[in-house]
Amino acid sequence: MAISDKDIELIERYLLEEATTEEKEEVDRRIHEEPAFSEQVQFMRGVVRAAENAGKEQLRKKLQVKHEQLAPSLEQESEKERDAGQGKSVPLYQRRWLYYATGIAALLIVGLFVLLPSNNTGNSLYNNYFEAQPNELVPYARGEQVPAGFGHLSQEEYNLIVRAMKHYERGNYQEASSLFEENVRRSAENAGLIVYMAISEMESGKTQQAIENLLYVNNLKEATLQDEAGWYLAMAYLKDNQQEKARNRLRDIAEESQHPYRDRASKLLKELK
């Protein structure tokens, strides 16, 4: 049996918990008896769940307005398809829900900031303020004598560090983080390398690992790139949306008169509300 506009309205009330007891019983019965009806219920349930996650009432109102605005063009396009013989057109009763699904997907991609207050300020500020630390540590001496400052590494180990840094400089953070993790142990003499490893981890989705490594360097008494470790720790907290921890770290930086990131930390603090 074909799905009618009346069926769509019934399913909509059922999924949005607006149906009467009799209507609920009818839908439950037809789900078991009519495969096409059951398939339509499943499709619409997925759309409604997405809408609920985004703020059901606000989303429905906004999508309904958009649907009404685009309905004439949708109908015109459908007529063109039929006239051109491009196959069976999508029935009108489904077009509304197909548009709901498309609209929800698009809104989720842009973060739903038009519909709902953003709770992802930290991540947004991270994207605005993050810049990868330039390579100021590892000279490209691969295959030659291990340079001063890396005497604790074998030639083979140092060559792998050079490979990791080359990936880092190209923005291949996944490859860089893997090579750093395999060849850089957590020790004070590796503090500078740990900072680059942590930045690679942040940019390849390993934020918790990055935080642990940056905390380690930040808590050392004196270490290579220790100031930078503090700044990137604040960045990692932002990316992980731990805004209070980010504020605390940024305040510490802003209060240090000689800190290289003092001005940026002060500016960021004003934006982090």
* Spans of all domains in the chain: 5-117, 124-271
The pLDDT value recorded for residue 77 is: 57
Q: What is the pLDDT along the chain (273 residues), one digit of tens a residue?
A: 678 878 888 888 888 778 898 999 999 899 888 888 888 888 887 776 665 555 444 545 555 555 555 555 555 655 665 556 555 455 555 555 555 555 555 555 445 444 444 444 667 788 889 999 999 999 875 556 788 888 888 888 898 999 999 999 999 999 999 999 999 999 999 999 999 999 999 999 999 999 999 999 999 988 999 999 999 999 999 998 899 999 999 999 999 999 999 999 999 999 886
The pLDDT value recorded for residue 52 is: 54
The pLDDT value recorded for residue 215 is: 96
Nearest Cα neighbor of 97 from 3, 196, 203, 198 is 3
- Distances 92 to 15, 72, 96, 227 between C-alpha atoms, Å: 20, 12, 7, 62
Distance, C-alpha 192 to centroid of its chain: 28
* Residue 10 near residue 19, CB atoms below 8 Å: yes
Instruction: Annotate 163-211 with DSSP letters as a single string.
Output: HHHHHHHTT-HHHHHHHHHHH--SSGGGHHHHHHHHHHHHHTT-HHHHH
- 101 three-state secondary structure: helix
The pLDDT value recorded for residue 119 is: 46
| CA separation for the pair 80, 147 (Å, rounded) | 71
| CA separation for the pair 166, 180 (Å, rounded) | 11
CATH code of 124-271, in short, is: 1.25.40.10
The pLDDT value recorded for residue 114 is: 45
The pLDDT value recorded for residue 112 is: 45
Radius of gyration of the chain (CA): 28
